[in-house]
């Protein structure tokens, strides 16, 4: 899957202070690159500005860093990527309403930065590669063992895989019980299963 991330938008959710330090940005890039490698996604981190006058792209640790330059905004660059990749397996990560509307018009699923980042953290915490989703060995007890149900349940939770559906508010309930999901909500559900 291709994931286009409004980088400063997400950084402001992770580090809500007024100024995001360079170390915070490097830590963020490192975490996203580990996530991309673990899950097998192509990720574009799109930043406003950057060291060059025009749009500049560079590959760092397996992800694409894109700087908008001085003549365009990150939103302009993201709109371009949405248009170019609209027919591919694409997910937009941004809380920008205008970008969300653009993605919706193009039939592209989007998720808020505040909802996406916990999925990244959970995937990294699980330490499981996309190709190695193993729930873990079942716990067997015999009548000889003196284990309470609480101990068994605690041990079992260590082996449980967190599903993306458990971390993000289910889109079906936004529209209300019994109502059919919109096409874009169904696409988002499909994308969340891949995260």
- How deeply is 172 buried, as exposed, middle or buried, from its count of CB atoms within 10 A (0-12, 13-18, 19+)? middle
The answer to whether 53 and 70 have CB atoms below 8 angstroms apart is yes
The answer to whether 55 and 75 have CB atoms below 8 angstroms apart is no
Task: Answer whether residue 172 shows pLDDT above 50.
Answer: no
- How deeply is 140 buried, as exposed, middle or buried, from its count of CB atoms within 10 A (0-12, 13-18, 19+)? exposed
d(CA 173, CA 94): 21
Which range among 11-20, 57-66, 140-149 shows the weakest confidence by mean pLDDT?
Answer: 140-149
Task: Answer whether residue 51 shows pLDDT above 50.
Answer: yes
Q: pLDDT digit string (tens) for 14-40?
A: 888 767 788 888 999 999 999 999 999
Which pLDDT score is estimated for 154? Answer: 57
For all residues of the chain together, what is the average pLDDT?
Answer: 78
Domain ranges of the chain: 1-195
Share of the chain above pLDDT 70, in %: 72
Which pLDDT score is estimated for 16? Answer: 81
Which pLDDT score is estimated for 163? Answer: 52
Which range among 62-76, 110-124, 172-186 shows the weakest confidence by mean pLDDT?
Answer: 172-186
Confidence band, pLDDT 50/70/90 cuts, at residue 80: very high
> Which has more confidence, 97 or 20?
97
Which pLDDT score is estimated for 174? Answer: 43
* CATH class of the structural domain 1-195: alpha beta
Task: Answer whether residue 47 shows pLDDT above 70.
Answer: yes
Q: pLDDT digit string (tens) for 106-138?
A: 999 999 998 999 999 999 988 765 544 433 434
d(CA 164, CA 123): 9
Which pLDDT score is estimated for 180? Answer: 60
Which pLDDT score is estimated for 128? Answer: 61
The answer to whether 2 and 91 have CB atoms below 8 angstroms apart is yes
Which pLDDT score is estimated for 168? Answer: 47
Place of tokens 């997910």: 91
Which pLDDT score is estimated for 94? Answer: 94
**Of 83, 86, 63, nearest to 5 (Cα)?**
63
């Amino acid at each position: 899957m291709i994931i286009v991330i409004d980088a400063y938008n997400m950084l402001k959710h992770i580090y809500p202070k007024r100024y995001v330090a360079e170390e915070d940005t490097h830590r963020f890039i490192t975490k996203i690159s580990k996530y991309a490698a673990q899950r097998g996604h192509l990720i574009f981190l799109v930043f406003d500005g950057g060291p060059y006058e025009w749009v500049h792209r560079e590959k760092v640790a397996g992800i694409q860093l894109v700087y908008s330059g001085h003549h365009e905004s990150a939103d302009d660059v993201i709109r371009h990527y949405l248009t170019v990749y609209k027919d591919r397996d694409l997910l937009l990560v941004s809380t920008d309403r205008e970008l969300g509307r653009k993605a919706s018009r193009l039939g592209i699923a989007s998720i808020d930065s505040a909802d996406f980042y916990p999925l990244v953290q959970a995937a990294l915490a699980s330490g499981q590669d996309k190709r190695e989703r193993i729930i873990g060995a079942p716990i067997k007890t015999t009548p000889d063992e003196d284990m309470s149900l609480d101990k068994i349940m605690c041990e079992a939770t260590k082996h449980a895989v967190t599903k993306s559906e458990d971390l993000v508010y289910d889109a079906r309930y936004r529209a209300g019980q019994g109502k059919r999901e919109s096409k874009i909500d169904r696409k988002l559900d499909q994308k969340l299963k891949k995260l």
